[in-house]
């Protein structure tokens, strides 16, 4: 390309859209944003209720799998990741969770002083407009529009009441003072449409003459000369092309594709690179290591047809859903259906929750390769702070090939025990309360015969999937083994910065979209040389305080 760019941003996902938009607020800076996927302009993507169709659309995802997973009998796990403008913000379940304040304080305790909750909260606030209005914890004039779910179906209320009967509080705002407890969900939905990163940030920025967006373009490596990044190489119909920049290459490709690209560029563990025939540019053992995710299972129950949301999703109901959304932006098409949830602890020795639950007033089963609704309800449960660690490695040096991704779920025995306890907590303690028992729920999955620890362990190993939250593969830190510093700058190669979930030292307690956006906002300020936002003095909940 003939244009001389200051910055090249790789990946137009949640973080890439934000970094590109914020950098181009400076009219003197020229930015290229490169994305492997195409346009996000689709009714099914825009309509929150179209989520099942989006998940099943292979044309807008990377199609990656993890595994074989050694502690799951060699199981392969589908890993949803958006190959589209907006990345995973254009295909995810739109659940808005920030993580627990103590997650960020934990990062700070390990040397990342500017990443404690006091320094992160102002960026969470500045990026959002919360439906209920601003306060010490919530923002009122940011580009992201965050709504509170209506949770009108009777099973949502029953779930919350059952939690109270179990001894858990219903927290008024789990993204505010207190995360722990039962909650009505919040989402990246506004006026009945998905509020993705392109809608919030990129579309307005694309009107600026200093931003160039290059879709449907696969970046094959970062160009490095004399220890510094000078640009990128991209795949083209006539062979590879080079695009150069004056200042930085900023990687926002996610916790699988960012380390993959670094490895293809010769940046990573030297022995692994030589194994696949990649010339070593910089021997950085941490690239691709420290991989984390949230392993989880669906706990499913059957009910009478009329008690489940399934009753409204027959052929007529689905037609009505589409028509009401298309014409009026109301009805079931405006929801992601995850309208109630909980953050709970399975052990008394934990300082904050280790388990996340998302409640659905319907359940589904696989029929001829497709998920179909059946009368009942289900709870998706994931382990929020696993100890197990995995890795991303190259299988070949062909950029079109998927890397080897292994999470090593349940390598830690404690992780598996926490999952067993988490199933019991929900299935026996919460669903066992009168608020839910009046609907006479039947154990579908796991079945009523699965009761002992050994049976639950076998079921969990077979049923485990993930929440699609890969992170940690280019760990941020102050120690010699860290891949990037506290501003996302690569330690061993000048001119490369990382600003996505791969720099998380430890995965947070919750969904990753909101934390990744916060991190992008924070790092964009550092790239621009702007004074960081002043730390917050808001006091958050700590158990026993």
C-alpha 359/C-alpha 378 separation (Å) is: 6
Render 239-306 in DSSP notation, one character per residue: S-EEEEEEEEEEE-SHHHHHHHHHHHTTEE-HHHHHHTTPPPSEE-TTTT-SBB--EEEEEEEE--GG
Pairing assessment for the beta strands 241-251 and 5-10 based on DSSP bridges: parallel
Question: What three-state secondary structure class fits 121?
Answer: helix
Domain membership of residue 71 (yes or no) is: no
**Using an 8 Å Cβ cutoff, are 251 and 234 in contact?**
no
Residue 82's contacts (CB-CB under 8 Å, 6 or more residues apart) are 13, 37, 60, 61, 62, 88, 89, 90, 91, 92
Q: Which helix (H) or strand (E) is 190 found in, with range?
A: strand 189-190
259 shares its domain with 352 = no
Residue 458 is assigned to a structural domain of this protein: yes
Chain mean position to CA 127: 17
Report which of 207, 203, 202 is spatially closest to residue 27, judged by C-alpha positions.
Answer: 207
Is 451 found in the same domain as 345?
yes
Query: For residues 471 and 292, is the Cβ–Cβ distance under 8 A?
Result: yes
Q: Note whether 364 and 490 are same-domain residues.
A: no
Residue 544 has a pLDDT of 59
Give the orientation angle of helix 413-424 with respect to helix 453-463, to 10 degrees.
100
In-domain check, residue 541:
no
Q: In 361-483, where do the E strands start and end? A: 363-367, 370-374, 376-383, 391-393, 404-406, 442-445, 465-466
Are 93 and 130 contained in the same domain? yes
Claim to verify: residue 347 and residue 311 sit in the same structural domain: yes
20 and 162 inside one domain: no
User: Residue 138's domain is classified under what CATH number?
Assistant: 3.50.50.60
Give the 3-state secondary structure of residue 503: helix
Within this chain, do residues 415 and 277 fall inside the same structural domain, yes or no? no
User: Is 153 part of the annotated catalytic residue set?
Assistant: no
Residue 300 CA to residue 373 CA, distance in Å, equals: 12
Can you spell out the DSSP letters for 290-320? SBB--EEEEEEEE--GGGSGGGG-SHHHHHH
In a domain, 539, yes or no: no
Beta-ladder partners of 443: 301
The per-residue pLDDT for 372 is: 78
Find the CATH number of the domain harbouring 374: 3.30.410.40
E strands of 346-473, at which residues? 355-360, 363-367, 370-374, 376-383, 391-393, 404-406, 442-445, 465-466
Contact 267, 260 (CB under 8 A): no
Which residue, among 235, 206, 201, has the nearest Cα to 221 in the 3D structure?
A: 235
- Domain holding 369, by residue range, is 150-184+295-383+410-463
Distance from C-alpha of 147 to C-alpha of 168, rounded to nearest angstrom: 24
CA–CA separation, 250 and 22 (whole Å): 13
Residue 479 and residue 143: Cα distance in Å, rounded? 35
pLDDT of residue 368: 78
Phi, psi (rounded to 5 degrees) for 447: -70, 170
Any domain includes 69: no
The reply to whether 537 falls in a domain is no
**For position 314, what pLDDT does the model report?**
79
Q: Over 47-116, what HEC string results?
A: CHHHHHHHHHCHHHECCEEEEEECCCCCEEEEECCECECCHHHHCCCCECCCCCHHHHHHHHHCCCHHHC
Residue 393's nearest CA partner among 404, 381, 378 is 404
Q: Has residue 102 been placed in a domain? A: yes
d(CA 116, CA 108): 5
Same domain as 212, residue 135: yes
| Tens-digit pLDDT string for the chain (545 aa) | 667 899 999 999 999 999 999 999 999 999 999 999 999 999 999 999 999 889 889 999 999 999 999 999 999 999 999 999 999 999 999 999 999 999 999 999 999 999 999 999 999 999 999 999 999 999 999 999 999 999 999 999 999 999 999 999 999 999 999 999 999 999 999 999 999 999 999 999 999 999 999 999 999 999 999 999 999 999 977 789 999 999 999 999 999 999 999 999 999 999 999 999 999 999 999 999 999 999 999 999 999 988 889 888 877 888 999 999 999 899 999 999 999 999 999 998 999 999 999 999 999 887 777 777 789 999 999 999 999 999 999 999 999 999 999 999 999 999 999 999 999 999 999 999 999 999 999 999 999 999 999 999 999 999 999 999 999 999 999 998 999 999 999 989 999 999 999 999 999 999 999 999 999 999 999 999 999 999 999 999 987 55
- Do 450 and 303 share a domain, yes or no? yes
Residues 233 and 100 reside in one and the same domain: yes
| Catalytic-role residue among 153, 183, 294, 469 | 469
Does residue 210 share a domain with residue 97?
yes
User: Do both 49 and 197 map to the same domain?
Assistant: yes
Residue 227 lies in a domain: yes
Count of domains forming the chain: 2
């Amino acid at each position: 390309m003939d244009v001389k760019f200051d910055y090249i941003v790789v990946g137009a996902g949640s973080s890439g859209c934000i970094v590109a938009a914020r950098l181009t607020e400076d009219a003197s800076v020229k930015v290229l944003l490169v994305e492997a996927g195409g346009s996000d302009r689709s009714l099914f993507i825009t309509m929150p209720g179209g989520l099942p169709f989006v998940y099943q659309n292979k044309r807008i995802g990377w199609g990656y799998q993890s595994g074989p997973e050694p502690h799951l009998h060699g199981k392969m796990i589908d890993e949803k990741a958006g190959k589209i403008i907006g990345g995973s913000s254009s295909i995810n379940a739109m659940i808005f969770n920030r993580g627990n304040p103590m997650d960020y304080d934990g990062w700070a305790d390990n040397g990342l002083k500017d990443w404690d909750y006091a320094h992160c909260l102002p960026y969470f606030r500045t990026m959002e407009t919360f439906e209920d209005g601003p306060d010490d914890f919530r923002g009122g004039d940011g580009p992201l529009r965050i709504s509170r779910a209506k949770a009108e179906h009777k099973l949502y209320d029953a779930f919350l009441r059952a939690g109270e009967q179990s001894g858990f509080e219903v927290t008024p705002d789990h993204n505010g003072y207190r995360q722990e407890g039962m909650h009505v969900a919040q989402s990246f939905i506004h006026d009945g449409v998905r509020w993705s990163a392109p809608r919030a940030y990129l579309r307005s920025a694309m009107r600026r003459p200093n931003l160039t967006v290059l879709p449907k373009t696969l970046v094959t490596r970062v160009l490095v000369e004399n220890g510094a990044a000078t640009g990128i190489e991209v795949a083209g119909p006539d062979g590879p092309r080079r695009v150069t920049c004056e200042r930085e290459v900023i990687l926002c490709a996610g916790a699988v594709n960012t380390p993959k690209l670094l490895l293809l560029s010769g940046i990573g563990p030297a022995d692994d690179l030589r194994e696949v025939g990649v010339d070593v540019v910089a021997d950085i053992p941490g690239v691709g290591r420290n991989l984390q995710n949230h392993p989880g299972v669906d706990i499913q129950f059957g009910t009478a047809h009329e008690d489940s949301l399934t009753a409204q999703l027959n052929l007529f109901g689905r037609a009505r859903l589409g028509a009401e959304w298309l014409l009026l932006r109301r009805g079931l098409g405006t929801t992601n259906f995850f309208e109630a949830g909980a953050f709970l602890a399975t052990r008394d020795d934990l300082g904050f929750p280790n388990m996340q639950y998302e409640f659905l007033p319907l359940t589904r089963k696989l029929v001829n390769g497709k998920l179909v609704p059946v009368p009942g309800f289900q709870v998706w449960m994931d382990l929020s702070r696993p100890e197990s660690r995995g890795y991303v490695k190259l299988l070949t040096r062909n950029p079109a090939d998927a890397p080897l991704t292994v999470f090593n779920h349940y390598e830690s025995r404690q992780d598996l025990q926490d999952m067993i306890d988490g199933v019991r907590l929900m299935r026996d303690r919460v669903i066992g309360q009168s608020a839910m028992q009046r609907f006479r729920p039947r154990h579908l999955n796991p079945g009523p015969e699965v009761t002992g620890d050994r049976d639950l362990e076998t079921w969990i190993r077979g049923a485990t999937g993930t929440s699609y939250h890969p992170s940690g593969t280019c760990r941020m830190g102050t120690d010699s083994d860290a891949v990037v510093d506290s501003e996302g700058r690569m330690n061993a190669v000048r001119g490369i910065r990382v600003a996505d979930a791969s720099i998380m030292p430890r995965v947070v307690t919750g969904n990753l979209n909101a934390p990744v956006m916060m991190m992008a906002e924070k790092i964009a300020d550092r790239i621009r040389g702007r004074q960081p936002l002043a730390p917050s003095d808001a006091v958050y909940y700590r158990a026993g305080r």
